[in-house]
Amino acid sequence: MVAYALQQLINGVTLGMIYGLIAVGYTMVYGIIGMINFAHGDVFMIGAFLSLISLTLLGAFGLTFVPLALALTLVLAVALAALYGWTLERVAYRPLRGSFRLAPLISAIGMSIVLQQYIQIAQGAKNKPILPPLPGGLRLMESDGLVVQVTWTRLLIVVVTLAVLGAFTWLVSATPLGRAMRACEQDTKMAALLGINVDRTISFTFVIGAALAAVAGFMFLLNYGVIDFFIGFVAGVKAFTAAVLGGIGSLPGAVLGGLLIGLIETFWSAYFSVEYKDVAAFSILILVLIFMPTGLLGRKDVEKV
Examine residue 49 and state whether it is found in any structural domain, yes or no: yes
* Lowest-confidence segment of 68-72, 143-147, 178-182, 279-283 by average pLDDT: 143-147
Instruction: Identify the pLDDT of residue 114.
Output: 93
237: nearest Cα among 282, 288, 176: 282
Residues 244-270: pLDDT tens digits? 888 887 888 889 999 999 999 999 988
Examine residue 118 and state whether it is found in any structural domain, yes or no: yes
Examine residue 302 and state whether it is found in any structural domain, yes or no: no
How far apart are the C-alpha atoms of 194 and 205, rounded to whole Å?
A: 19
Question: What's the distance, Cα to Cα, between the start and end of the chain in Å?
Answer: 57
Examine residue 298 and state whether it is found in any structural domain, yes or no: no
Examine residue 275 and state whether it is found in any structural domain, yes or no: yes
Examine residue 269 and state whether it is found in any structural domain, yes or no: yes
Distances (CA, A) of 129 to 73, 223, 228, 233, 284: 16, 11, 9, 19, 32
Mean pLDDT over 158-164 rounds to 90
For residues 33 and 219, the model is more confident at 219
Range of the domain at 170: 2-291
**Dihedral sign from CA coordinates of 68, 125, 112, 248:** negative
The neighbouring-strand residues paired with 149 are 139
Backbone angles phi, psi at 148, to 5 degrees: -90, 120
Per the prediction, the chain carries an average pLDDT of 88
* Total domain count, the chain: 1
Instruction: Identify the pLDDT of residue 305.
Output: 46
The neighbouring-strand residues paired with 227 are 128
The percentage of residues in the chain with a pLDDT greater than 70, rounded to a whole number, is: 98
Mean pLDDT over 42-64 rounds to 92
Examine residue 296 and state whether it is found in any structural domain, yes or no: no
pLDDT at 279 over 70: yes
What's 46's domain CATH number?
A: 1.10.3470
Q: What is the dihedral of CA 190, 198, 294, 170, to 10 degrees?
A: -110
Say what the pTM is. 0.91
Maximum CA extent, the chain: 66
pLDDT at 222 over 60: yes
pLDDT at 202 over 60: yes
Contact, 288 vs 253, CB < 8 A? no
pLDDT at 303 over 70: no
Most confident of 12-21, 23-32, 277-286: 12-21
Q: 79: pLDDT confidence band, cut at 50, 70 and 90?
A: very high
Backbone angles phi, psi at 150, to 5 degrees: -105, 110
- DSSP-derived 3-state class of residue 127: coil
Residues 97-116: pLDDT tens digits? 777 778 888 888 899 999 99
Examine residue 241 and state whether it is found in any structural domain, yes or no: yes
How far apart are the C-alpha atoms of 280 and 209, rounded to whole Å?
A: 27
pLDDT at 193 over 50: yes
